[in-house]
Amino acid sequence: MASSVRIDGSLPAAGTNPSTGTVFAGGWAVDYDWHNDRVAASGQPRRLSALRFPAPFDLGVEGVLRGQAAFTGFLYLFQDGQYLKLREADMTPVQEPRPTAPAWHLPPSWTSFDAVFPGGGVKSRFAYFFRGDEYVRFDWTTDHPSPGYPRKIGPNWHTSAPFTSDIDGVIIGQEGFSTKAYLFKTVTVTVDDSGALGAGHTLQVPVYARYDFDKEIVDHVVQDPLVVVANWRGLFPLLDAGTAVDTALGWTAPALIALGAKAASLTAGTPSDPATDAALRHHFMSPNPNATMITAITARMNDIQNRIRAIPSKFQWTPGLAFDAQTARATLTEIGDTFSTESGPNARGAVHIHEASHFIETGSPVDVPEWQGETVNGTFNPAPAGQPAYHDLTPDQALTNPSSYAAFAQEIAFGQDTRFGAGRPQE
């Protein structure tokens, strides 16, 4: 799969020659340590709201700028053609959101932006606004765009397709990379089950071109999705993990509502929802669960949801990890590069629920994948010798089985028995 991340932009830490910067994608942020060329060790990923980005700028940005010259001390957030000016010291807005184009003297037709980012190297006194195949260079010292803009991205940034228009966002390099800008764009590729370029799955993945502000050249291009993930050590798995948190919570919420309704129907002696009954039969192996069983499933699903909400607590990217994820009970969940390269967006959501179940588990749980001995998406997956098929679990075993909770939540959310996970890796 490589990754589903769409880079929005970045912001270097405050101070002279900082070694750490924050990269934004959707409603999530990850700190990248340029000195060690890997993500910062802990507290990743974070919601933009945890950075005190006010709503609605906490759900995603077009870019972020730190003011210069007369505007030093202010931070500017850009979203959907509007910007918000904040006092950086306390992240307090100093005005209501305003349209970007008139305030920054940009073309009136520019009502939204692909990327907004600071310059680097000899161009560090400028800010850049990208839209379509054009850009404007803004000069902080004059509080106006440089003369002669907008200009075309391709000939002036010396880029070639696909980096001549519709850029997703730009990461600005730091330390030994302080003259570099990394232009990211989402493109369509075909990969195999491992995420390598080849036949099998047509996907949207991020690729990038590296531009040198001082030399005014593109000096590096990466369009292999596996290499993109490998080159940015930990960045894409952690940003994918943030989006997967939202996916998983989008499944556990309706699952808990359905379980509540089932409990109420048992108390009242009234018919229950056939779809909920089918999901309970498929994943907890009980056509007629009693109130005690529903209470147990509900309690564990609540604990799973609370654990997922707690991310990034006791959560990290581990280089060289051989699995998508692994969990030490009540201690730590780790993800590796294969969380991005071998799992699609829905599979990552399933991984979060599965690992959250391991995190909160007690006793000796069963751990039987939802695809084991089952036909998933038209493909039969035989159970390894000596191991049971998923459908052969007893109700008591299913109550401790992490995959039962992931698959049940999906079936309630989608209205069908999807079983995203290792049996459907690139989905």
Q: Which domains does the chain have, with CATH numbers?
A: 9-233 (2.110.10.10), 239-414 (3.40.390.10)
pLDDT of 388 strictly over 90: yes
Whole-structure pTM value: 0.96
Count CB neighbours of 166 within 10 A.
15
Band of the pLDDT at 14, cuts 50, 70, 90?
Answer: confident
Band of the pLDDT at 68, cuts 50, 70, 90?
Answer: very high
In tens, the pLDDT along 155-167 reads 999 999 999 999 9
Give the DSSP H/E element, type plus range, for residue 79: strand 74-79
Burial tier of 233 (Cβ tally within 10 Å: 0-12, 13-18, 19+): middle
User: What pLDDT does residue 171 have?
Assistant: 98
For residues 343 and 197, give the distance between their C-alpha atoms in angstroms, rounded to a whole number. 15
Band of the pLDDT at 18, cuts 50, 70, 90?
Answer: confident
Name the pairing type of β-strands 315-317 and 332-335: parallel
User: What pLDDT does residue 232 have?
Assistant: 98
pLDDT of 193 strictly over 80: no
High-pLDDT (> 70) share of the chain, %: 100
In tens, the pLDDT along 74-116 reads 999 999 999 999 999 999 999 999 999 999 999 999 999 999 9
pLDDT of 356 strictly over 80: yes
User: What pLDDT does residue 17 have?
Assistant: 74
User: What pLDDT does residue 1 have?
Assistant: 59
For residues 5 and 238, give the distance between their C-alpha atoms in angstroms, rounded to a whole number. 10
Owner of token pair 């959707």:
26
First and final C-alpha spacing in the chain: 8
Burial tier of 102 (Cβ tally within 10 Å: 0-12, 13-18, 19+): exposed
Q: What is the mean pLDDT of residues 328-340?
A: 97
Helix axes 235-268, 345-360, angle to 10 degrees: 70
pLDDT of 118 strictly over 80: yes
Show the tokens assigned to 134: 């054009």
pLDDT of 303 strictly over 70: yes
Residue 350 DSSP code: H
User: What pLDDT does residue 165 have?
Assistant: 98
pLDDT of 331 strictly over 90: yes
In tens, the pLDDT along 182-192 reads 999 999 998 88
Band of the pLDDT at 231, cuts 50, 70, 90?
Answer: very high
User: What pLDDT does residue 43 have?
Assistant: 93
pLDDT of 2 strictly over 80: no
